């Protein structure tokens, strides 16, 4: 399930608010209705979608506040202006709302558009803000905001994980279905002890190069490196280049997967420490429950995870321990928690090989070899076993990249040459 499907109006290109009435979903223009009908379309199909805070119109929205439907009546004209009942608010404006500081909120927003205190516009804005602040019922962390990505290094992963598990155990409302309390607690407990993986820049480039054309793979315990885990790439991966991390936790019949985007520095510097403490670095944008032997190919939103698993399973990767800061180790010791385990995934250093022609006996002809690496599709094979190997059982042969390791990877649109380099283990590119 995609938690981050942003819809916009095809006519005005403003991001729309989503409203649920049982099984039906409707969309509204932000703040107030326009002089044209709502024409919903996926924001991914439009350019320059306006997706900003509903109060100041400048900051990226973090929270979705829910109120009753707000209406303002102009007594002299007898005109009723109907506004929304959902308000997507940036972090600075949310700080003022949570402090119940209506006047400061109005001053901040009015100053950005040049409205002076005492003007009609200022007074109407203050009344609207009064309705939002005093009428707010709850707020949900937004999953649709197109944050600039954060640079997450290997040694940051324990703190990154702790912030997200703290979010799961806290009172912050998350998008459904992640918001279910029992599910949140179980996920936090599993992630607390799960191994963490950081994929270095070069291996991330490999994943980005090949994941979109990855053939169908069957999810099995053999290709998952551990039953539970959290993996973070050096830069966003996937077709939309927004997937920063994926966590997986084992269930009775498969795995629960959550995909995350990372939250970059898009709020004032003075508020960043507080935002990192309250929200952290990762924002869930996709969730999926995948059973064993589920079929996943390059079209799946979380295919970069499976691609990474396949490349590790093919032994194309070195997985090395990451040296963590002394402060991180001591913090875990003080809280009597096991030392965190962080592995850095990198391309396996190239082995020295001598190419030999494949010659047939009695012939000087050589078999043609490919000049690039490419995906070979997976398939099912009947494996012999039992007494006299008389019985058969199906075995999954997973997709793999074929070709000598020194060859470039050739896809339909790109050619990538990747080489294994030593890694410092700190997560920083060399």
Supply the pLDDT for residue 343: 95
- Asked which of 14-18, 294-298, 365-369 is least confident by mean pLDDT, the reply is 365-369
Asked if residue 299 has pLDDT above 70, the reply is yes
Asked if residue 365 has pLDDT above 70, the reply is no
Radius of gyration of the chain (CA): 26
Supply the pLDDT for residue 352: 57
Asked if residue 56 has pLDDT above 50, the reply is yes
Instruction: Look at residues 194, 204, 96, 226 and name the one whose alpha carbon lies nearest to residue 153.
Output: 204
Q: Are 155 and 423 in contact (CB under 8 A)?
A: no
Q: Are 311 and 405 in contact (CB under 8 A)?
A: no
Supply the pLDDT for residue 338: 87
Asked if residue 428 has pLDDT above 50, the reply is no
Asked if residue 64 has pLDDT above 60, the reply is yes
391-424: per-residue pLDDT in tens? 777 777 788 788 776 676 665 444 444 444 445 4
What residue has token string 């890694």?
423
String of DSSP letters for 78-142:
TEEEEB-SEEEEEHHHHHHHHTT-HHHHHHHHHHHHTPPTTSHHHHHHHHHHHHHHHH--EEEE-
Asked if residue 54 has pLDDT above 90, the reply is yes
Asked if residue 23 has pLDDT above 50, the reply is yes
Supply the pLDDT for residue 150: 94
pTM: 0.83
What DSSP designation does 344 have? Answer: E
231-282: per-residue pLDDT in tens? 999 999 998 889 999 999 999 999 999 999 999 987 888 899 999 999 999 9
Percent of the chain with pLDDT over 70: 87
Residue 429 vs residue 157, higher pLDDT = 157
For the chain, the residue count is: 430
Q: Are 38 and 4 in contact (CB under 8 A)?
A: no
Three-state DSSP class for 416? strand
Instruction: Look at residues 318, 92, 284 and name the one whose alpha carbon lies nearest to residue 203.
Output: 318
H helix or E strand, kind and range, residue 206: helix 201-210
| Distance from the first to the final alpha carbon of the chain | 37
Asked if residue 287 has pLDDT above 90, the reply is yes
184-194: per-residue pLDDT in tens? 999 999 999 99
Residue 76 vs residue 178, higher pLDDT = 178
String of DSSP letters for 236-292:
EETTTT-EEEEEEEE-SSEEEEEEEEE--S-S-GGGHHHHHHHT-SEEEEEEEEEET
Supply the pLDDT for residue 395: 74
What residue has token string 């404006």?
93
Q: Which residues contact 266 (CB under 8 A, 6 or more apart)?
A: 59, 60, 147, 148
Asked if residue 430 has pLDDT above 80, the reply is no
Residue 164 vs residue 379, higher pLDDT = 164
| Token couple for 38 | 């709502």
| Token couple for 294 | 């589920």
- Phi/psi class of residue 266: alpha, beta or left (left: φ > 0; alpha: ψ in -120 to 50)? alpha
Supply the pLDDT for residue 79: 64
What is the C-alpha separation between 115 and 132, in angstroms, rounded? Answer: 19
Supply the pLDDT for residue 28: 96
154-189: per-residue pLDDT in tens? 999 999 999 999 999 999 999 888 888 888 999 999
Percent of the chain with pLDDT over 90: 66
Asked if residue 385 has pLDDT above 80, the reply is no
Instruction: Look at residues 94, 17, 151 and name the one whose alpha carbon lies nearest to residue 278.
Output: 94
Q: Are 144 and 42 in contact (CB under 8 A)?
A: no
As a whole number, the mean pLDDT across the chain is 86
Handedness of CA 95, 101, 104, 106 (dihedral sign): positive
Three-state DSSP class for 145? coil
Supply the pLDDT for residue 359: 44
- pLDDT band of 134, cuts 50, 70, 90: very high
Q: Are 346 and 419 in contact (CB under 8 A)?
A: no
What's the half-sphere exposure (Cβ side, CA atoms, 13 Å) at 281?
A: 17
């Amino acid at each position: 399930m995609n938690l981050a499907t942003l819809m916009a109006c095809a006519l005005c290109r403003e991001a729309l608010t989503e409203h649920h009435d049982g099984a039906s979903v409707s969309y509204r223009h932000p703040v107030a209705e326009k002089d044209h009908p709502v024409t919903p379309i996926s924001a991914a199909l439009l350019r320059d979608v306006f997706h900003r805070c509903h109060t100041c119109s400048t900051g990226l929205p973090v929270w979705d506040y829910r109120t009753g439907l707000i209406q303002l009546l102009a007594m002299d004209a007898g005109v009723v202006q109907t506004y929304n009942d959902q308000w997507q608010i940036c972090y600075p404006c949310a700080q003022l709302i949570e402090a119940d500081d209506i006047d400061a909120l109005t001053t901040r927003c009015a100053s950005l558009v040049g409205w002076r205190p005492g003007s009609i516009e200022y007074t109407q804005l203050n009344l609207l803000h009064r309705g939002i602040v005093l009428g707010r019922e709850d707020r949900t962390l937004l999953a649709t905001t197109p944050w600039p990505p954060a640079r997450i290094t290997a040694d940051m992963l324990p703190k990154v994980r702790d912030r997200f598990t703290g979010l799961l155990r806290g009172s912050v409302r998350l998008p459904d279905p992640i918001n279910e309390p029992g599910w949140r607690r179980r996920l936090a407990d599993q992630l607390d002890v799960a191994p963490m993986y950081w994929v270095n820049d070069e291996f991330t480039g490999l994943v980005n190069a090949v994941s979109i054309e990855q053939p169908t793979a069957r999810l099995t315990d053999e290709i998952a490196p551990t039953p539970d885990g959290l993996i973070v790439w050096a830069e966003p991966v996937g077709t939309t280049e927004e997937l920063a991390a994926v966590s997986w936790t084992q269930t009775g019949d498969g795995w629960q997967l959550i995909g995350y985007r990372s939250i970059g520095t898009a709020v004032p510097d003075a508020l960043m420490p507080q935002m990192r403490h309250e929200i952290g670095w990762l924002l869930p944008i996709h969730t999926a429950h995948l059973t064993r032997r589920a079929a996943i190919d390059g079209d799946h939103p979380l295919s970069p995870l499976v691609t990474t698993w396949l490349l590790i399973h093919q032994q194309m990767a070195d997985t090395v321990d990451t040296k963590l800061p002394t402060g991180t180790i001591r913090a875990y010791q003080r809280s009597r928690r096991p030392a965190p385990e962080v592995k850095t995934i990198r391309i396996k250093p190239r082995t020295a090989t001598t190419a030999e022609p494949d010659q047939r006996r009695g012939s000087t002809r050589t078999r043609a070899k490919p000049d690039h690496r490419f995906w070979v599709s997976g398939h099912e094979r009947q494996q012999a076993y039992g007494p006299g190997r008389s019985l058969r059982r199906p075995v999954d042969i997973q997709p793999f990249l074929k070709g000598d390791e020194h060859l470039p990877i050739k896809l339909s649109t790109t050619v990538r040459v990747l080489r294994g380099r030593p890694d410092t283990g700190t997560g920083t590119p060399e």
